[in-house]
Structure formats: structure tokens, C-alpha cells
Amino acid sequence: MGLLDSLVGAFLKLTDPTPKYTGPRCLLERNSVSGCDKCASVCPHQAISLGDFRAQVDEVKCTSCGLCTAVCPGVALEFPLGPIQEGLHRGKGQIRCSKVLGTGDEVPCLGQLTPGLLAEAGSKFGPLILAHGDCATCKIGGPTVPERVEWAVEEGQKYFPTLEAKLQQGSLQGAAVGRREFFGAMMGGAKRSAAELVPNLPFAQEPEDERAERPAELRLRAIAARRAETVAWPKISIAEGCTLCPVCTNVCPTHAVERVREAVEGLSDEYLIKLEVAACTGCGACVSSCPPQVITLTQASKDEVQGERLELFRGVPPWYDL
């Protein structure tokens, strides 16, 4: 791809009202036994269709409400979160939707506020104030937006348990912003826009698995967790009876679960199942897909979130000598 093509592609990405779709992080493409229809179920405009083991967004019907991005368990649907994070920071934890007049930064719809965005902003500024318009008549998000934002706040409390947010209909009072903060925010936004427009240098070798790239949503959750005293971050545990098959690693949308082969001198090779807690979304794909049904969801400690991969199970597979 040439420089001109890259610049055109970057511009179209910035002006595209639909969320970015990363197929390898979609539970449908991962062939999770339980499947997933959360994005299609929450969309107020029937803009998402599920078929051929993937989610497809209709660019005509999509209004950029963002409800699908907040609810997607594999973070397969994303809007750029940097500009929204900057808006929350400039407003010191206050932001309004595009239908609310007055001062303060705005987002097209409060539905774009993901659990990670809310947790990170709440961990920095304390109680958040989120202003919305008349959702019942809004053509962007619709009447379910306040309920979905409250759900996102509850999800955000897993990563920052003291997160609080007040939803109000009407304008914001506005937070005082100093001159240094104002120009710093402008410079940061300009750098971010420039970075978006400059095409990435080609890799000598393309990444083998797109799941390995940590999405911004998970990075924001990790930042919030570092500021928290305790967390309720989801993780999995594996009981006896595990056959060390690769199903859990195959269905994991964020590459949180890893199976490693380890040579043992004088013995048959062992296999290890490891978990990177900070990449686990608690989607439950491995739980429902596990053939012997020995995986359960539980909660991780803050040390586990910030630490190395956890060893969940080790042994010699029963099928090793077959």
C-alpha cells in the first residue's frame, strides 16, 4: 500500500461513523460454544447483523451511539477512545452528549462511554457527571442509553470499585480549566490526530494473531486498577479433570489464555495453561466451551492483575501417548 492510499485510509477511518471491527476478537469468529449476540441485541437501529461467524455493521444505519462497543465482551468493536478520554480529563470528570447545549466537552452519545473510560476517569477525578439530552426522542442512541450507561458504570466498578457517576438531563455547570491545561490538551489532541494520519511503517512480518495486541479499553481498565486499593477483575480457574486440550486458548478473544509445552527431563513433556489476568474480560467463552467443563469464573486480586501470567493447570495430557 502506497503513502497516498495510507493517508486516504487514515482520513476515512477518522470520518467513519462506524466502530472498528477486529474479527479475531469476536466470539463468533472464535467459535465460542455459547456464541454471542450482545452487539446486535443492544443496537437501537438494527445496524448490526450476525452471519458467517462474524458481526457486520451497516454504515447507513449506524449512528455512532457506541452501545455495541461498551457491551462487546471481546472488545472486537471499538471507537477511538483517546479523544473521549481527553474530553473527560479536560472536564475533570464531566462530559455531555451532543444533544446537550452549553459548556464542556461532548461525545456524540454517552453510549460511547465504555467501562474502561469511566473507570479511568473516575479513578482520577472522583465522582463523574454525565449529562444527556432527551434520550426518548434522540435519533442517535435512543431511550435505552441511560440504562446502558448505568450498566457500564457497574462494569467499571470491577476495575475501580469506588467508581461513582451521576447521570443528569441538561447542561453541565462546567469545570474550570487553567491556561496550561487548555494548551496542553490542544497539543495532545493535535499530536493524536497527526499520529492517526501518519501511516504505520510496514512490519517485516505481520503479527500472527491480532488478539495479542492489547486494545485501548483493556489498557484503560489496567490504569484504573493501578489506582484502586482493591479490584474485582475477572479471572478463571481450572479444576482437576482438565485434559489440557487447546479449546480454551482457541476461543479466548484477547489471548489471555495460553497453553505452553514444557520439556521435563526423563519424563513426558508437560503442558501448562496460563492466564494473563490483565487481558481477561470475563467473557466466559472458555467456560462454556471447555469440553470437560472444569473452568469457572472468579475474581483476581490487584497483585494478580499487575503480575506475570498465572499458572492455572499443569500436567501430561491423557492423549499424549496416543
DSSP letter at 269?
Answer: P
Q: Quick one: pLDDT at residue 8?
A: 53
- Nearest CA to 157 out of 240, 252, 219, 230 is that of 230
Q: Quick one: pLDDT at residue 138?
A: 95
Q: Quick one: pLDDT at residue 2?
A: 60
Task: Collect all residues with Cβ–Cβ distance below 8 Å to 250 and sequence separation of at least 6.
Answer: 30, 31
Q: Which of 161-175, 212-226, 290-304 has the highest mean pLDDT?
A: 290-304
Q: Quick one: pLDDT at residue 195?
A: 40
Give CA–CA dist 129/95, Å, rounded: 7
- The dihedral through the CA atoms of 61, 62, 63, 65 has a sign that is positive
Q: Quick one: pLDDT at residue 194?
A: 45
Mean pLDDT of 87-109: 93
- The dihedral through the CA atoms of 212, 217, 220, 221 has a sign that is negative
Give CA–CA dist 294/148, Å, rounded: 32
Cell 480529563 locates to: 89
Q: Quick one: pLDDT at residue 182?
A: 47
Q: Quick one: pLDDT at residue 32?
A: 80
Task: Collect all residues with Cβ–Cβ distance below 8 Å to 189 and sequence separation of at least 6.
Answer: 83, 86
Burial 228-245 (b: 16+ CB within 10 A, else e): beebbbbbbebeeebebb
Q: Would you list the domain boundaries of the chain?
A: 3-14+80-197, 232-315
pLDDT in tens, 289-318: 999 999 999 999 999 999 999 999 999 888
φ and ψ at residue 274, rounded to 5 degrees: -120, 155
- Quickly state the pLDDT bin for 94 (edges 50, 70, 90): very high
Q: Quick one: pLDDT at residue 120?
A: 98
pLDDT exceeding 70 applies to what percent of the chain? 81
How far, in Å, are 3, 5, 246, 314 from residue 10 at the CA level? 10, 9, 37, 45
CATH fold of the domain at 232-315: Alpha-Beta Plaits (3.30.70)
- Quickly state the pLDDT bin for 180 (edges 50, 70, 90): low
- First-to-last CA distance in the chain? 47
Q: Which of 95-104, 105-114, 208-217 has the highest mean pLDDT?
A: 105-114
- Quickly state the pLDDT bin for 198 (edges 50, 70, 90): very low
Mean pLDDT of 275-295: 96
Mean pLDDT of 77-87: 95
pTM of the model: 0.83
Cell 473510560 locates to: 117
- Nearest CA to 159 out of 78, 216, 218 is that of 218
Mean pLDDT of 166-192: 61
Mean pLDDT of 29-50: 92
Is the pLDDT assigned to residue 320 strictly greater than 50? yes
Parallel, antiparallel or unpaired: strands 77-78 and 54-57: unpaired
DSSP letter at 136?
Answer: G
Is the pLDDT assigned to residue 188 strictly greater than 80? no
Residue 296 β-bridge partners: 237
Task: Collect all residues with Cβ–Cβ distance below 8 Å to 285 and sequence separation of at least 6.
Answer: 27, 30, 32, 33, 34, 73, 74, 251, 252, 253
Is the pLDDT assigned to residue 15 strictly greater than 60? no
Q: Quick one: pLDDT at residue 192?
A: 42
